[in-house]
């Protein structure tokens, strides 16, 4: 199993917070650090400071040496396709070829409204996602002069220099809960499909459907990498686990609904002592997961990052 540390940076994390987390994750042996791309804080108290995902990754690219860096996922509504292609290619250069690009349709209507970003219906956003992925591929892989005509975007006589360091392109990830359209989009454009908010049984089902989507367009399913983003909370023993659970509920909830929030996620998380966590990882591996994005809602607890490294990543 390969491991990524996934943080929800909209939980009020400053750049210095994220740098400390990235450097700790690199030292702990994680393959990569991914972060969310949101402009408003949640879960938990609203109004906490947020940062731009790609600006932060550019900084981390210069202050890490081995750790791969990515965003899971950037909404198509936030940036034009040529812009996200240029940004990701630039950070790929700054990192020496360590960037991965996750693109998605976006979902948080409130943050769009409050930042003046247009939020079309999901069917239109999915159309935009397909066109953005086609354009990113074209700008990164096709020779100068390439053009594209879509319903939402148009590229004429492209000149895109320099190309990304990674060839033919940085890995492209499409993720979600596995709707039929997301699977079709992934089969056509993605190097990796990431399943979210799912237990091992549901992950296995979505991978089977992904295989069907690949075969339907003549793609070998074996060419698609498979990952899952899974909430993670561990403790060296039951006492430490209980302490971290209390800290987690204080971080992500604002009222007595905390236990309910946790209960809806408990069954699908990597949760417990190291032995229990490894048993859950084995279930995800049996479901076909090749890379686990360990979603950490207590990112300032650097000791837990060390523990994840010792008990899972390097175990």
Query: If you average pLDDT over residues 194-211, what whole number do you get?
Result: 96
Give the Cα separation of 25 and 294 in Å (integer): 11
- Give CA separation, 306 vs 18, 144, 160, 291, 297, in Å: 15, 46, 41, 19, 15
| pLDDT value, residue 167 | 95
Query: If you average pLDDT over residues 152-181, what whole number do you get?
Result: 96
Predicted TM-score (pTM) of this structure: 0.95
Strand partners, 232: 270
| pLDDT value, residue 263 | 86
pLDDT tens string 38-69: 999 888 788 898 999 999 999 999 999 999 99
- Mean pLDDT for the chain overall: 95
Give the Cα separation of 39 and 43 in Å (integer): 13
H/E element holding 54?
Answer: helix 53-63
- Checking if the pLDDT of 256 tops 80, the result is no
pLDDT tens string 113-128: 999 999 999 999 999 9
| pLDDT value, residue 119 | 95
| pLDDT value, residue 255 | 62
Fold of 2-313: TIM Barrel (3.20.20)
Query: If you average pLDDT over residues 140-157, what whole number do you get?
Result: 97
Task: Give the residue carrying structure tokens 């594209």.
Answer: 148
The first and second tokens of residue 286, run together, are 């049996």
CA-nearest of 141, 170, 146 to 159 is 146
89's CB contacts (< 8 A; 6+ apart) are: 140, 160, 162, 163, 164, 170
pLDDT tens string 258-310: 788 888 898 999 999 999 999 999 999 999 999 999 999 999 999 999 999 99
pLDDT tens string 71-97: 999 999 999 999 999 999 999 999 999
Count Cβ neighbours within 10 Å for each residue of 206-237 and write b for 16 or more, e otherwise: bbeebbebbeeeeeeeeebebbbbbbbbbbee
The domain locations on the chain are: 2-313
CA-nearest of 287, 243, 252, 251 to 268 is 287
């Amino acid at each position: 199993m390969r491991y990524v540390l996934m943080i929800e940076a909209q939980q009020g994390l400053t750049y210095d917070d994220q740098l400390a987390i990235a450097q700790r994750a690199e030292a702990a042996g994680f393959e990569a650090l991914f972060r969310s791309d949101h402009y408003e804080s949640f879960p938990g108290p609203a109004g906490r400071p947020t940062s731009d995902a790609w600006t932060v990754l550019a900084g981390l690219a210069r202050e890490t040496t081995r750790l791969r860096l990515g965003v899971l996922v950037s909404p198509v509504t936030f940036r034009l396709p040529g812009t996200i292609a240029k940004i990701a290619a630039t950070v790929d250069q700054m990192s020496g070829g360590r960037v991965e690009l996750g693109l998605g349709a976006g979902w948080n209507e409130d943050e769009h409204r409050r930042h003046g970003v247009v939020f079309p219906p999901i069917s239109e956003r999915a159309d935009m996602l397909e066109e953005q992925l086609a354009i990113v591929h074209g700008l990164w892989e096709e020779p100068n002069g390439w053009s594209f005509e879509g319903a939402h975007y148009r590229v004429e006589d492209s000149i895109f220099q320099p190309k990304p360091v990674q060839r033919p392109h940085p890995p492209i990830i499409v993720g979600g809960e596995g709707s039929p359209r997301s699977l079709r989009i992934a089969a056509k454009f993605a190097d990796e499909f990431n399943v979210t908010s799912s237990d091992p049984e549901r992950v296995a089902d979505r991978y089977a459907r992904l295989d069907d989507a690949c075969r339907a367009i003549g793609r070998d399913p074996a060419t698609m990498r498979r990952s899952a983003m899974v909430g993670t909370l561990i403790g060296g023993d039951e006492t430490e686990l209980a302490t971290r659970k209390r800290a987690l509920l204080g971080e992500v909830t604002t009222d007595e609904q905390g236990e309910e929030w946790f209960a809806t996620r408990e069954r699908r998380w990597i949760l417990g002592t190291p032995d229990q966590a490894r048993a859950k990882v084995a279930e995800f591996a049996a479901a076909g997961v090749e890379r686990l994005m360990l979603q950490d809602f207590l990112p300032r607890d650097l000791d837990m990052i060390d523990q994840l490294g010792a008990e899972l990543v390097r175990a």
